[in-house]
Amino acid sequence: MPAGIIRGVRHAVVIGGSVGGLLAARALSVAFERVTVLERDDLPEGPAARRGVPQSRQAHALLARGSMVLDELFPGFTSEMLTAGVPTGDLQADCLWYLDGQPMRRARSSMPVYGVTRPLLEHLVRQRVRALPSVTVTDAAEVTGLLHEDPARGGRARDGRVCGVRTVGGTIEADLVVDAGGRASRLPVWLRDLGYGEVPVSTVRTDVVYSTRHYRYDPERIGFAVINAPYPGMPRTGVTVRQENDRVVLFLGGILGEEPPDDDAGVRAFAESLPGPEISDFLRTAEPLGDPVRMRFPASVRRHYERMPRLPRGLVAVGDAVCSFNPIYGQGITVAALQALALARTAGAGRWFTGAARLVDSPWSMATATDLRFPEVEGRRRAVDRPLDAYLRRYRAAAVHDTDLGAAFLRVSNMLAGPGHLLAPGRVLRVLLSPARAGRGPARRRPPVAGRRA
Ligand SMILES: Cc1cc2nc3c(=O)[nH]c(=O)nc-3n(C[C@H](O)[C@H](O)[C@H](O)COP(=O)(O)OP(=O)(O)OC[C@H]3O[C@@H](n4cnc5c(N)ncnc54)[C@H](O)[C@@H]3O)c2cc1C
């Protein structure tokens, strides 16, 4: 893995020991003699959900690009997942995708999919990071602030420098501090208190409500994965994915006021209302392995550190601390992994936040453009969005029949290609020549169920 060595740099401190922080520690372990990860929670020995990562009880998808980057950062990582019992399949052949309510034709592709739970993924990453000789992962260690050196009087440096962190137990000096404190990161407050001003924020409110429950896997009753994506007029989603330990995770979600119910009858009725019949058929005989767990995700939040007129040197932020995406698109871990690759190349030197913003631009615009298809979602719609949206609706209608268009759609949503891939001249032609028309609606219509908030 490439890494820039910076003269004099020896110790990096990472705030937060979840996936983003662990990947950052891996990235810095080559250029820094010591890397210390400070995690507020008590970390479990095995794969287990924990308080500081409430979403770890919810269904997580690992995008194909994410699994590839994990293999780059930790050679053999995906084989290790398989050894740990994670089922794998082909993203297009083994998963049934409903696009705008229509089932997509299946075909073999070169894109892998892994049915891994969030706690097992974090556990495997943590084991790899703990095995690195230069990295120490310390739990029950809460960071409460930054150590900051003011610019030397008359010196050339215009801004100060972060030179460590304050913890509940004392102070730790560092040449580089990485904030991987997640969505609830305190970095904006710390920077404001140090006189750097407010961090500009973009917010797109979708009011996602998640409900996740596990069932026993039975190949006679359900395939590898079924994905009913929401679309205007259908603010509900329902997904099943086969996971390790012979389980199937069911995730029901609602946006913009829709709430998946938790009681059995309500869950079945919600599943009945989805475009595809597979999940409601599965639920007729499925054996639950626990209770449903609910979580709210009010808004996607992007912190624009790159727009700050001043920032201290020696500071980097990664993962959800920079951008917390609508979880329905499953982008968070993959973006954190791509940031880790960039961190390995630069060791946090130079204009980190400018480069990090470029990495976030494409997934952020893909996710928010999809959210902005819903007229109820507030946000800036550019003049180009209307024709683009009309094209993409036609694209999806064509892609459910045309497996090449379907594969390109999955490549983009799995971050293996940029959104421009869907606008390549050959694809535009196929879309325009396709007899499929957008706006046919779902494969079947069911009456709405109770569960909508007033
Ligand atoms: C409901 C939901 C579903 C999601 N589904 C997906 C999905 O399908 N696919 C996907 O890729 N992503 C998904 N995500 C996003 C994904 O969970 C995150 O991107 C991923 O966990 C990486 O985040 P992170 O490490 O930056 O932050 P987090 O996972 O939030 O971790 C932050 C860590 O920092 C610690 N911490 C915070 N403050 C301090 C402090 N002051 N001192 C010490 N420690 C501190 C916390 O205890 C925690 O361990 C989902 C998110 C949600 C909310």
The three-state (H, E, C) secondary structure of 205-250, written as one string? EEEEEEEEEEEECCCCCCCCEEEECCECCECEEEEEEEECCCEEEE
If you measure from the C-alpha of residue 320 to the centroid of ligand 1, how many angstroms do you get, rounded to a whole number? Answer: 6
Query: How far lies 67's CA from each of 22, 23, 270, 345, 357, in Å?
Result: 15, 13, 31, 19, 22
Check whether 7 has a pLDDT greater than 50.
Answer: no
pLDDT tens readout for residues 108-150: 998 999 999 999 999 999 999 999 999 999 999 999 999 999 8
- Which of 11-25, 99-113, 376-390 is predicted with the least confidence, judged by mean pLDDT? 376-390
Within a 13 Å sphere around the CA of 291, how many CA atoms are in the beta-carbon half? Answer: 4
pLDDT at res. 436: 85
pLDDT at position 447 over 70 = no
**How would residue 454 be classed by pLDDT, with cut points 50, 70 and 90?**
very low
pLDDT in tens, 153-165: 544 446 799 999 9
Confidence at residue 440, expressed as pLDDT on a 0 to 100 scale: 52
CATH of the domain spanning 203-298, picked from 3.40.50.150, 3.30.9.30, 3.40.50.1100, 3.40.190.10: 3.30.9.30
Alpha carbon distance 344, 28 (integer Å): 6
Q: In this predicted model, what pLDDT tens digit does every residue of 266-292 receive, in sequence order?
A: 999 999 999 999 999 999 999 999 999
Which residue of 237, 333, 339 sits with most ligand 1 atoms within 8 Å of its CB, as the best mutation to test the pocket? Answer: 333
Residue in this structure with the two tokens 């305190």, named with its chain if needed: 186
**Has domain 11-53+117-200+304-366 been given CATH number 3.50.50.60?**
yes
User: Residue 380 — very low, low, confident or very high, per pLDDT cuts 50/70/90?
Assistant: confident
Q: Which atom of ligand 1 is nearest to the CA of 183?
A: 30
Run of H or E including 265: helix 264-272
371-399 average pLDDT score: 90
Give the model's pLDDT for residue 2: 36
Q: Which residues does 149 contact at the CB level (< 8 Å), separation at least 6?
A: 160, 161, 162, 163
Give the pLDDT confidence score for residue 384 in this predicted structure: 84
Ligand 1 centroid vs 266 CA: distance in angstroms?
A: 29
Q: Ligand 1 centre from 53 Cα, in Å?
A: 6
pLDDT band at 453 (very low <50, low <70, confident <90, very high): very low
What is residue 396's predicted lDDT score, i.e. its pLDDT?
Answer: 96
Same fold across 11-53+117-200+304-366 and 203-298: no
If phi > 0 it is left, if psi is from -120 to 50 it is alpha, else beta; for residue 256 that is left
Q: Which two tokens stand for residue 172?
A: 């730790």
Structure tokens at 210: 């998640």
Indicate the range of 228-242, 330-344, 370-384 predicted with least confidence: 370-384
Residue ID of nearest Cα to ligand 1 atom 15: 332
**Most ligand 1 atoms within 8 A of CB, residue of 124, 320, 331 to mutate:** 320
CA distance 334 to 327: 12
Which atom of ligand 1 is nearest the CA belonging to 141? 43
Q: How far is the CA of 323 from the centre of ligand 1 (A)?
A: 11
CB 178 within 8 A of CB 15: yes
Report the mean per-residue pLDDT for the chain: 92
pLDDT of residue 143: 98
Residue 181 reports pLDDT greater than 90: yes
Ligand 1: atom nearest CA of 319 is 26
Q: The dihedral of CA 120, 15, 9, 35: what is its sign?
A: negative
Q: Where are the domains of the chain?
A: 11-53+117-200+304-366, 203-298, 383-433
Could you report the per-residue pLDDT of 42-63, keeping only the tens digit for each? Answer: 999 999 999 999 999 999 999 9
Residue 425 to residues 192, 410, 421, 430: CA-CA distances in angstroms? Answer: 48, 18, 9, 9
Averaged over 210-222, what is the pLDDT?
Answer: 93
